[in-house]
Structure 1
Amino acid sequence: MTAKGYVIARVSVQDSDAYAHYAQLARLAMERHGARILARGGRYHELEGAARPRNVILEFDSYDAALRYWQSPEYQDARRHRLHAAEIELCVVEGVDEPVGDR
C-alpha cells in the first residue's frame, strides 16, 4: 500500500477578490489531479505558535501525486493570482503506510 500525500496550507488572505479567483482556478487543478479536500476554512483554535485564519488540507493518492499537483501548469496558473493576495505557508507531507496507534 502506498502512503498518501497531503498538501497543507495555512493562509492569511489580504485581497479576498484575488484570492477567490485563485481558489476557483485551484479547484480546477485539484479536480484534475485527484485531490480530496479534507479541510478548507472552517473552525480552528490556536493551540501553540502563530495560527492563520484559513487552513486547508488536501489528500492525494501519493506524495508524488501531491507534488505533481503543485508543479502542474494548472496550479501554477492559479498560484499567480494568489501571490499578492495572501500570506501562506504551504507544504507537502507524506502520510504513513498504516495508521499508527497505541498497541
Structure 2
Amino acid sequence: MTDTPKGYWVAHVDVRDPDEYKKYVAANATAFAEFGGRFLIRGAEQDVVEGQLRSRTVIVEFPDLAAAKACYESEAYREAKALRDPVSDADLTIIEGWGG
C-alpha cells in the first residue's frame, strides 16, 4: 500500500508593504485550515546560493495535490489573495510531493 503524495505550494514573494501584507497573512488562515494546509517554511532567513529568488520563501504542505489546488481555487483564498496582490509580487507553484 502506498501513501498518496502530499501537495505543496512553493512561493517566492517580495513584500512591498509589510503592514498591509499582515492582513493577507491573517486572511489566508481560513483557506489553509479548510484544506489542511500547514506551513513548513514561512519567510525564514534564506541564503540564495545559486540563481535569483524573491526575498521571502513560503512552503505550505497539503494532504494531497487535489487539496492544494482546491485551496488555491477556493473563494476563501481568492479573498485573501485580493489583499496580497496590491502589496506584493509573488511566484507560486503548486506541486505534488515525491511518492518514493
- Distance across 1 between alignment mates of 2:58 and 2:29: 12
1:52 alignment counterpart: 54
2:97 alignment counterpart: 95
Q: C-alpha offsets along residues 25-81 of structure 1, whole Å, 9 cap, x if unaligned?
A: 012211121112100011100111112221110111111110001001000000001
2:35 alignment counterpart: 33
2:86 match: secondary structure: coil
CA RMSD of aligned residues (A): 0.9
1:12 alignment counterpart: 14
The match for 1:43 among 38, 42, 45 is 45
2:64 alignment counterpart: 62
TM-score, structure 1 length as denominator?
A: 0.90
- Distance across 2 between alignment mates of 1:25 and 1:97: 31
1:55 counterpart letter in structure 2: T
TM-score, structure 2 length as denominator?
A: 0.93
Q: Which moved more, 1:87-96 or 1:26-35?
A: 26-35
Number of residues paired by the alignment?
98
1:41 counterpart letter in structure 2: G
Unmatched 5+ stretches in structure 2: none
